[in-house]
Structure formats: structure tokens, C-alpha cells
Structure 1
């Protein structure tokens, strides 16, 4: 078989795999969403109920994922912990996306001063590790869901901002935008009718990356004891609470860790598929 034919076959195989990967990621996320949202109906036990007679029991028919150091059912805590981790991360991602898009459009249409100022602010933000910013803010603001969401959003808005600014600047220079202005359209109308629809696909792709970053940061803060506070179940806090018993009671940390990995893999697969679909090559192939 000649090299060009082999290249064509390889590309065709890759094109067939990409939709499958996207579907796989979507199925993973759908399953996680169903079991976490349905946790009150699915969980076999109350995630906060302690049973000191069933401490650190291995997985069994009675406790499919075992129990932790306080006798709480790990399966129930993983399900309810997903509601906490995913809910906080989703809200923070939405806030970060709104901030990023708003500031990106402002930088593109607000003049050079806004563009330079916001660009420098984004550079400063990138120079500071997200975990360090979170530690400093939470040390002063204290623990709680609202400070946690705020610090997660402030740590993750830059990616969306940069994408929105670049694409909004490109759209602002198009002839049809000038024609709309000549016709009397206001800046707000131009942004609403032309800029936001053009930016939306790229922002959607960026949101998948932002969600993964936010979820990892939220879990890291929970691991350090600065995220969602006990006894509320949270994946990061569960991994931390079981690390001391990892050798003899591995299930306490491993199962919430697996849940975290499944979600991140699912989001990345969906994000890769969306990126391919909305790319220039993806549009040409369709």
C-alpha cells in the first residue's frame, strides 16, 4: 500500500475515532450527572451517619465501596460528594466564563486603554499560581461556599478572556460590523447580534478546559482542608481523609479519586471533540 493511501486511511480512521471519543466522554458525564443528581434516591445510606461498629470495612455486599474511619458508607459519600464538587465547580466555571467574555468584549470594543489594562491584568493573573491565589484569599475571607466559588472563578477567567478578546477583536474588524455601525447599530447591538454568536463556540470549548481546571483546584483545596468543610462530603476532602489509611484501607481514598478522574477524562474527551468540530478543519470536513 502506497504512503498516500496509508495517510488517507489513517486520517479516515482518526475522523471516525473523534466522534466516538466525544460520545464516550458524553456518556461518562451523563452517567456521573445522573448518579450524583439522583444521590438521595441511589445512595444506600445517609452520607453523614456514623457507625463506629463498622469502621474501615472493605467493600462488601452491605457496603459496596466499603466504609471510612468513622463507619460512614463510602459509596454514599462519593455520590453526595460529587454533588458538592461538581456543583461548586460548575457555578465557578459559569462565573469565570461570564467574567472572561465580558472583559474580553470590553477589551475589544472599549478602546486601547481598556485593552492594555485588561491584558496586563490577565498577564499578572497568569503569573500567580491559582492554588497560591486561592490560599491567600481563603486565608483572609474564611471558608464557605461563596468565598470558594469566588476564588475559583477569579483563578480561571483568563483563558476565556483571552479567547473572547482575540476573536471579538477579529470580528470587530470585519466589513459587516462597519456596515452595521453605518446603519446606526449601537455597540451593544453589534455585540449582541454579531460578536457573542461568533465567540460562543470557542467559549464553549474554553469552558470545558476551565471546568477541568476549576474541578482540580476545588479538589486540591478540599484536600488541603480549605475547600468544602466536613462533615459535608467532598471528593478532595475524602481523598485527604483516607491517605493515612491508604495501605490498609485503600478504598477510602481510591474511589473518590477514581470518580474525579472519570469526570476529568469525560470533560476532556467532550472538549476535544468540540474543539475539532468548531475548528476550521472541522467545518471544512462537514
Structure 2
């Protein structure tokens, strides 16, 4: 009599849970983005209207964030200012990523001579801090939200160009690229079909991290009076207007500063988590 062999059922692998940092970053980002998108409906007062309350009034039920030196509601200004700050960050990162990505891909797949010239130009620009480049461009173009956005975007181009070139050069050395060339695939199709899908995830992750840098640059330019001009509300501009009242009305600095910190923190948490997810080596170390 033969005994049937017992079949063993492999245990189900444990369900992976999202790290707490990802959940916290996503929750903060969603709240901030929704508040910025619907700021026109959430703001109880016109953010540029003066004397809606007493000057330098402390936070209260009617004015949750208090008022500034002109009696403007600070809660309304911070809400509407978030839309400006996020808009500048998104526009700058998209522009810098697209232009820098095209420059990096061109340097990687356009021959030795073009590669050498473009890399030297990129390295020269990359040697300067992005804040210094943005300041120089705004000083040349003049203050304003459009010029500040353009300056921040151009300052991000060398970083994304160098990053894209490094990723593309690593892919260029792999055997499947040589096989595709031997199969007669042109450079444009090779980059579009084979290279971009392999480096796109890394570029998106670095774009998420670069968004935080763009927010800080926009706030810094507005704080120096080179970005968004009064009376338009923007987090950096609100900080600049409240620096003279740091002892008398510190809430003018606290609330826009907290908005900047929470926004940068949320997108840094998301970007770091995405980088760990995309890079298997970092995932193993974690």
C-alpha cells in the first residue's frame, strides 16, 4: 500500500506595509496641495485686502494665524501663498527636468566631440551653486514671479543634465544597447523606447526631491525682494514683511515658515522613499 505524498503549501509572503515616512509624507503633501488648490474657497478674507482686522492682532478664533502690519488676515495669505509657491516649484522643476534631460541625453548619444563640449559646459554651470545662478539671473531679468520662476528653472538645468547624462551613459554601456544598434535601431528610437523607460523612474524621483529645493529657492528670492512682489502673498515674501516684527508679532514668521518646512519635509519624505523603492541596493541596506 502506497502512502500518497503530502503536498506542502508555501506560506503566503507577508504583505508589505508602506513605511511610516511614506504615509506621513503623502498625507502632508495631499493636505498642502488640496489647501493650495482650493485656497480661493478656503480663505475667509481677501489676502490683499488691508484692515480686515486690527494691526498685528494675535491668533484668535476669527483670525487663526493673526494679522500682519497692515491688518491683513495671515491665514488667508498663507493659503493663497501656497498656490504661488507650489506653482513656482512645479513650473521650475518641469522646465529644468525637460531641458536638462534633453541636454544630458544629447551629450550621451551624439558622439565624442559633442559629448566633450557639452559636458564641459554642464560642468562649468554645475560648479556654481543653483541659488547663485538664480540670483544672477533675477538681477539681470528683474524681479517678478515670471522671472523668478525662469531663473530657478535655469538654475536646475545643470543638475538634471548631469544626472541624466550619468544615467544614460550607464545604460549606453549595457549589452542590450549594442544589440539594438546592431539590429539597426536609430538613435532617436533607441533613446525613446529603450533608454527612457529605464531611467525615467530615477528622473521622477530626483524631480520630487528637486521640488523641495525649488520651493526654498522661490522663498529665498521673495525674501530678498527679487521674487514675488507685494502685495501678492507668497511664503518668502510674508517672511520678509514680518522680520521687522519678530519680537512684537512672531506669528507673521511662524506660520509661513512652518508651511515651508512642512512642504519641504513632505516631498523629501516621498522622494527618499521612492528612491529606496527604485534602487534595490538602497532597499537592501534599509
Same fold (TM > 0.5): yes
Question: CA separation in 2, counterparts of 1:231 and 1:116?
Answer: 47
Partner residue, 1:278: 278
Matched, 1:182 2:182: yes
Aligned residues: 270
Per-residue Cα deviation, 1:93-120 (whole angstroms, up to 9, x for no partner)? 0001111211111111011222222222
Partner residue, 2:230: 230
Alignment of 1:74-93 (within 5 A): 74-93=74-93
Partner residue, 1:255: 255
Per-residue Cα deviation, 1:10-54 (whole angstroms, up to 9, x for no partner)? xxxxx97x7221121111100000111110111111101100751
Partner residue, 2:47: 47
- Greater Rg, structure 1 or structure 2? 2
Question: CA separation in 2, counterparts of 1:114 and 1:53?
Answer: 62
Question: CA separation in 2, counterparts of 1:38 and 1:237?
Answer: 21
Q: Which has the higher helix share?
A: 1
> CA offset at residue 232 of structure 1?
0.7
SS in 2 for 1:157: helix
Question: CA separation in 2, counterparts of 1:274 and 1:53?
Answer: 44
Partner residue, 2:68: 68
Per-residue Cα deviation, 1:211-246 (whole angstroms, up to 9, x for no partner)? 111111111000000001111100001001001001
Partner residue, 1:158: 158
Contact 2:56 2:67 in 1 (8 A): yes
Partner residue, 1:31: 31
Question: CA separation in 1, counterparts of 2:117 and 2:208?
Answer: 27
Contact 2:43 2:75 in 1 (8 A): yes
Alignment of 1:196-215 (within 5 A): 196-215=196-215
> CA offset at residue 284 of structure 1?
6.7
Contact 2:104 2:162 in 1 (8 A): yes
> CA offset at residue 129 of structure 1?
2.5
- Which blocks of at least 5 consecutive residues in structure 2 are unaligned? 1-15
Question: CA separation in 2, counterparts of 1:129 and 1:168?
Answer: 24
Partner residue, 1:112: 112
Contact 2:143 2:225 in 1 (8 A): no
Residues 192, 270 of structure 1: alpha-carbon distance in 2 compared, 3 angstrom cutoff: same
Question: CA separation in 2, counterparts of 1:24 and 1:284?
Answer: 22
> CA offset at residue 282 of structure 1?
5.8
Contact 1:47 1:77 in 2 (8 A): yes
> CA offset at residue 283 of structure 1?
6.7
Partner residue, 2:170: 170
Question: CA separation in 2, counterparts of 1:164 and 1:134?
Answer: 21
Alignment of 1:98-109 (within 5 A): 98-109=98-109
Partner residue, 2:220: 220
> CA offset at residue 163 of structure 1?
2.1
* TM-score between both structures, scaled by the size of structure 1: 0.89
> CA offset at residue 148 of structure 1?
1.5
Moved over 6 A (4+): none
Question: CA separation in 2, counterparts of 1:127 and 1:40?
Answer: 41
Question: CA separation in 1, counterparts of 2:276 and 2:116?
Answer: 31
> CA offset at residue 184 of structure 1?
2.3
Alignment of 1:112-131 (within 5 A): 112-131=112-131
* TM-score between both structures, scaled by the size of structure 2: 0.89
